[in-house]
Structure 1
Amino acid sequence: MKKSKKWIGLLLGAVSLFQINILPVQAEAYWPEGPTIAGDSAIVMEASTGTVLYEKNSHQELYPASITKIMTALLAVENSSLDEQVTFSANAVYKTEGSGIWRDVDEVMTMKECLYALMLESANECAYAIAEHVGGNYDTFVQMMNDKATELGCQNTHFNNPHGLPDESHHTSAYDMALISRAALQNETFRLITSTKRYTIPATNKHAEETYLSNHHKMLNNWKGDSSYLYEGCIGGKTGYTTAANSTLVTFAERDGMTLICVVMNEESPNHYVDTTNLLNYCFENFQLWNVAENENNYTSDKTENKIFANEESFLSIDPQGFVVLPKAAGFTDAVPEIKEDTKAEDKVGTIQYTYADRNVGGADIKINGAKVSQFPFEKEDASDNEKKVVHINTKYILIGILVVILLVGIGFGIYHFADNFYLIRYKLMSKRQKGFKEIKQRKRRRKKR
């Protein structure tokens, strides 16, 4: 497999160099101007590509308040089962304040119930209990939060608690929160919980009555009867507020196959809803998503010299889940592609990445199909290993090029050696003729002497 990927890498490198000659001249890139907002910091990121469509001071360090709980929920769904029993400690009950569902010491709830309370009612005691349960202890979980932030590429984040209550050492940025939210949205359990408007927790060992939860995000749910900010396509998010942080808001919305993550920070209420609405409208009205596999022709067209993703029999294909997001005024061919090799992954050999207006706008993996054709294996198959994969290539066009090169090189060497041999033979013949003339003259001289 390693030898196969080495050959594939060489092929991709050749194609990457050759693309300079086949790409059309690009028109001047245009990026729509975004709205003016009241908040100190904001970002809108397209979820499938990670493309930043709008930003204002998105790397500024600010207090997050309860949008912190997106990270807490992400770690919980990744590191526990929904049916696990969570017991509330004295610290969980007495070392938290603000929003909550008023649990008691030694009360037991499932992780699922704790997560719904965390995300819908922003329950601080549930955040604390989740941290102790998932991390084994509180401090370990906080370290897990920071490790995960680093793993996701956050550069302006330091978490010091799982709930977002005021702490001078607890800060993040709009950009980092978008990265965390993007990772969370890739988890189906998180998506289900954050999109839920209402949920009921059954009776527990400490509460005989049911506990009713209602999502506080007014763009998803008419919380407390306020429907003025409901937004078509909103699929969830998280609210936040403390005196130090002011209003913070993370919102997820989907339209026309495009999922947007909007983060606003340090806002005066209700501007966090107004700004979010304006930013989402701007992005949905001005941008659209393109599927790479359905639109990429530079490497899949009928140009024989560059047809490496030819058809279903080709050993390489473009991942159908790869996307590019562009302004609606631009076409797919306005994005500039670049092939980048990946030698570490087992199921792909690289990616096609696209830029537009000096921005990264998405891309797609170049996948190994596992197509098996009897001719031209990169590796000789070991008969003793029936499960060993053999990667084959649609060689029709590549072989033509290779044979032409070999033929031209062979002709060149042939002419060169023929010329050398011609002159050598001619030299030997001339030498023999001269030697023969000398012998004839010597015989004539001997006869005269006699």
Structure 2
Amino acid sequence: MRMMLRAVLLMGALVGTGAVSMEAAQAAEKAKSKTQATSKEKASSTARTSSAKGAAQTSKARPKSSASGSTRVAKASKTASPAKARRETADSRKSASRVLPSDVDLWQESGHLAVRSGSALVISQDGGETLYEKNARVVVPIASITKVMTAMVVLDSMPNLQESITITDDDVDYLKGSRSRLRVGAVLTREMALLLALMSSENRAANALARHYPGGLPAFVAAMNRKATSLGMARTHFEDPTGLTSHNVSTAHDLARMVAAAYHYPLIREFSTTSGVTAEVKGRELEYRNTNQLVKSPTWEIGLSKTGYIQEAGKCLVMQARVADRPVVIVLLDSDGKQTRIGDANRIRRWMESVASSGKQPTPA
């Protein structure tokens, strides 16, 4: 009996030991699987981290073609997926294309030179050939381009240029509120007033010149409109000698006629292209600069120049210049942006030079 009991106990122990071993084996297998999965996950994470670091290092190593665009793309590649980085690269290129055209030598549309000013005209000085035009017959405000006509009417009256004229309250701009360093009571010669009006677009000087015209300001404005009619400027009208009013209107074609006529006045050519002058007014020395920065450029040969701006007219520029060895009149009206009219003028010059070097004639737009 005791022998049987011992046998039963021994068998139970063996069975228990086997069960424990099986459970331990199963637990060990599960732990092993979990360890392998964790190792695979760590390896995959390490590989992704290494790949990201490699991409970032590669992005850093690339040369920067444009400072802002390249910086944005480099930063994106560190944190974004390749697809997102490609999208940001494309966006950067699109952004650059919106900025770069102002610096491109030849910005063209449909095979023709294109400018950004609202109205534009490039015409031979004798008026015989139109090289480029855009809205050139649209009537628009002309701002201080007006002062070219003011100068012609002043000189047509053959006044004493050394005679002194006085700035009064009548010359103060109460319409636009523009500033002037010519204070009420300032005295200057008619010649200096003409120089400041043409070179630095001095409004009080221009108005004082008109007030000192025989018959006063009303007679002067009437003479401006008669002069315009005599030059064939059929769509032009003047109401003041400064251009501060938006009722002074014209077209690019009419203004080209005016510039060509003004070119025959030596003083207008000289004064409008003077880069700067020191004027002594009431014992003070005042520095004045030309409002057209191109008159100082060695790449330009400018014979006459005038800029203009009021909000209704935008930025304006008229010039007589020799470009590609031919005298032309350039008119740019209703330009947006501080440098748009200058950019347009430079594009026109490079376009004409490029066409001339190719031996072809410019094709009218």
- After TM superposition, is the score higher than 0.5? yes
Cα 1:135–1:186, aligned 2, differ >3 Å: closer, same or farther?
A: same
Residues 117-155 of structure 1: CA deviation (Å, up to 9, x unaligned): 101221111111011112431111111111111111112
Aligned residues: 253
- Alpha-carbon deviation of 1:197? 0.5
Distance 1:357 1:219 in 2: 25
Unpaired stretches in structure 2, ≥5 consecutive residues = 1-110
- Alpha-carbon deviation of 1:164? 0.9
> Please, what TM-score do these two structures have when normalized by structure 2?
0.63
- Alpha-carbon deviation of 1:211? 1.9
1:390 corresponds to:
none
Contact 1:34-1:279 at 8 Å conserved across structures: no
2:235 corresponds to:
156
1:197 corresponds to:
275
- Is 1:274 paired with 2:343? yes
Higher radius of gyration, 1 or 2: 2
Cα 1:120–1:37, aligned 2, differ >3 Å: closer, same or farther?
A: same
1:211 corresponds to:
286
- Alpha-carbon deviation of 1:259? 1.9
Segments of 4+ in structure 1 off by > 6 A? none
Q: How does 1:12-411 map to 2 (within 5 A)?
A: 34-79=112-157, 80-93=159-172, 95=174, 97=176, 99=178, 101-167=180-246, 169-203=247-281, 207-221=282-296, 231-255=299-323, 257-269=325-337, 270-286=339-355, 328-329=359-360
Contact 2:315-2:333 at 8 Å conserved across structures: yes
Counterpart of 1:254, as a letter, is R
Contact 1:83-1:110 at 8 Å conserved across structures: yes
Cα 1:256–1:55, aligned 2, differ >3 Å: closer, same or farther?
A: closer
Cα 1:230–1:66, aligned 2, differ >3 Å: closer, same or farther?
A: farther
2:141 partner SS: coil
Cα 1:105–1:188, aligned 2, differ >3 Å: closer, same or farther?
A: same
> Please, what TM-score do these two structures have when normalized by structure 1?
0.52
- Alpha-carbon deviation of 1:287? 5.8
- Alpha-carbon deviation of 1:78? 2.4
Contact 1:196-1:236 at 8 Å conserved across structures: no
Comparing 47-56 and 172-181, the one that deviates more: 47-56
Residues 27-55 of structure 1: CA deviation (Å, up to 9, x unaligned): xxxxxx64011122100122245532211
Identity %, equivalent residues? 27
Contact 1:118-1:127 at 8 Å conserved across structures: yes
- Alpha-carbon deviation of 1:57? 1.2
1:304 corresponds to:
none
Cα 1:46–1:125, aligned 2, differ >3 Å: closer, same or farther?
A: same
Residues 277-305 of structure 1: CA deviation (Å, up to 9, x unaligned): 112332344469xxxxxxxxxxxxxxxxx
Distance 2:128 2:171 in 1: 35
Residues 177-215 of structure 1: CA deviation (Å, up to 9, x unaligned): 111111111111111111210112224xxx211222110
Contact 1:166-1:244 at 8 Å conserved across structures: no
Distance 1:173 1:144 in 2: 19
- Alpha-carbon deviation of 1:112? 1.1
Residues 303-331 of structure 1: CA deviation (Å, up to 9, x unaligned): xxxxxxxxxxxxxxxxxxxxxxxx9546x
Distance 1:69 1:243 in 2: 17
Counterpart of 1:44, as a letter, is V
1:29 corresponds to:
none
CA RMSD of aligned residues (A): 2.8
- Alpha-carbon deviation of 1:237? 1.0
Counterpart of 1:280, as a letter, is R
Contact 2:131-2:363 at 8 Å conserved across structures: no
